[in-house]
Amino acid sequence: MGKVLNCKEAAKVFLENIKIESEKLIEKGINPILAIVRVGKKEDDIAYEKNILKNCEKVNIKGQVHECNENIDMESFCKLIQELNRNESVHGILIFRPLPKHLDENVIKHIIDPSKDVDCMNPLNLARIFEGDLTGYLPCTPAAVMEIIKHFNIDVKGKKVAVLGRSMVVGRPLAMMMLKEDATVIICHSKTENLKEVVSGADIVAAAIGKAKFIGKDFIKDGAVVIDVGINVDNDGNLCGDVDFEAVKDKASLITPVPGGVGSITTAILLKNVIKGAKMAL
Ligand code: NAP
């Protein structure tokens, strides 16, 4: 069986490092603050929010929740974001997505101040990544994948990496980050022909398609590294990834589980971004 990567342990290490950074800032008179903007009371959002607040507490970052009525109009919503942009005590702004349809994300993403955009929503921050500059804010999920790669000393240089999915939240920025590390990247999507053949040629497979257990063992080369970004619910109502873990684990050399994989690191990246924002206030 391939080694299952213990991402929860890795997350603890990241959080400890974030706490050290946060304490240094507090000593200098800066209390890092994350503003969370939530519209409505969606169960998933509330669970994610609780998890963020719990982790904020662990690392001495103050989490501040701005709950909006689900009928909030575009003007009032933009006003709230602009107020948070101007508020000097706020270092990071996280807007839970997807937003209700009447709130146009394509407008809002331009309004959020790029220097507080800890979820990397503003195209200016994304553009930097596409230019190969990874010194700014990085989107949390692809950055979590790259932290796993780094933490477990996985060599991507010159390796064939198949990224499954091309969303702006995961697949595309992840492909750019892999490219920056000199991987040979293949981006796959729903129109990719002979997907199995393409993916089974890869040394590293990063799956982010949102299809429960879609990636079976025929997709995976013997000894490949498998990073599963997917968060889905299977037919029995259990949380699972895009990869059929039981089928693939014996073929892969290293594999991330779901739950307990990429998702465990994502919040730590968000908080790392808040520290980055707070350092700008120095
Ligand atoms: P998304 O916006 O729905 O994008 C899905 C991508 O997968 C699209 O590019 C789509 O191709 C591609 N795709 C769909 N079906 C496919 C198939 N059968 N074969 C090949 N490609 C296929 O999803 P997302 O926001 O990127 O999220 C992807 C997954 O990651 C979801 O399970 C989500 O829950 C999970 N996620 C996890 C975290 C975390 O912290 N771990 C964070 C965010 C998201 P087209 O472009 O051609 O439509």
pTM, full prediction: 0.96
Output the tens digit of pLDDT for each of the chain's 282 residues: 689 999 999 999 999 999 999 999 999 999 999 999 999 999 999 999 999 999 999 999 999 999 999 999 999 999 999 999 999 999 999 999 999 999 999 999 999 999 999 999 999 999 999 999 999 999 999 999 999 999 999 999 999 999 999 999 999 999 999 999 999 999 999 999 999 999 999 999 999 999 999 999 999 999 999 999 999 999 999 999 999 999 999 999 999 999 999 999 999 999 999 999 999 988
Buried b (16+ CB within 10 A) or exposed e, 90-110: bbbbbbbeebeeebeeeebbe
Q: How far is CA 74 from CA 120, 171, 186, in A?
A: 21, 29, 38
- Ligand 1, atom 36: closest residue by C-alpha: 230
Ligand 1 binding residues, C-beta < 6 A: 141, 164-167, 169-171, 188-192, 195, 208-211, 229-232, 262-263, 266
Q: Classify domain 140-263 at the CATH topology level.
A: Rossmann fold (3.40.50)
**Cα(116) to centroid(ligand 1), Å:** 26
Residue of 189, 191, 218, 234 to mutate, ligand 1, most atoms within 8 A of C-beta: 189
Res 175: pLDDT: 98
What are the residues whose beta carbons fall under 8 Å from the beta carbon of 51, sequence distance 6 or more? 267
Q: Which helix (H) or strand (E) holds 41?
A: none
How many whole angstroms separate alpha carbon 185 and alpha carbon 213?
23
Mean pLDDT of the chain: 97
Please say whether the beta carbons of 230 and 208 come within 8 A. Answer: yes
**By the 8 A CB rule, do 219 and 198 touch?**
no
d(CA 165, ligand 1 centre) in Å: 5
Bridge partners (DSSP) listed for residue 36: 65, 94
d(CA 198, CA 159): 14
End-to-end CA distance of the chain: 48
CA of 134 to the centre of ligand 1 (A): 22
* d(CA 73, ligand 1 centre) in Å: 29
Ligand 1 centre to CA of 119 (Å) is 17
Instruction: Determine the pLDDT at residue 282.
Output: 85
CA pair distance 102, 105, nearest whole angstrom: 9
- Which whole-number Å values give the CA distances from 185 to 173, 179, 258, in the listed order? 12, 6, 24
The predicted structure's pLDDT at residue 29: 96
DSSP-derived 3-state class of residue 215: strand
Q: Which helix (H) or strand (E) holds 144?
A: helix 140-151
Contact 66/80 with Cβ under 8 angstroms? yes
Q: How many helices (H) and strands (E) does the chain have?
A: 10, 11
Q: Mind listing the pLDDT tens digit for each residue in 120-134?
A: 999 999 999 999 999
Given CATH 3.40.50.300, say whether it is the number of domain 29-114: no
CA-nearest residue for atom 34, ligand 1, is: 231
Residue ranges per structural domain of the chain: 29-114, 140-263
Do 29-114 and 140-263 fold alike per CATH?
yes
In whole angstroms, what is the distance from residue 69 CA to residue 128 CA?
34
Point out which residues pair with 215 in neighbouring strands: 243
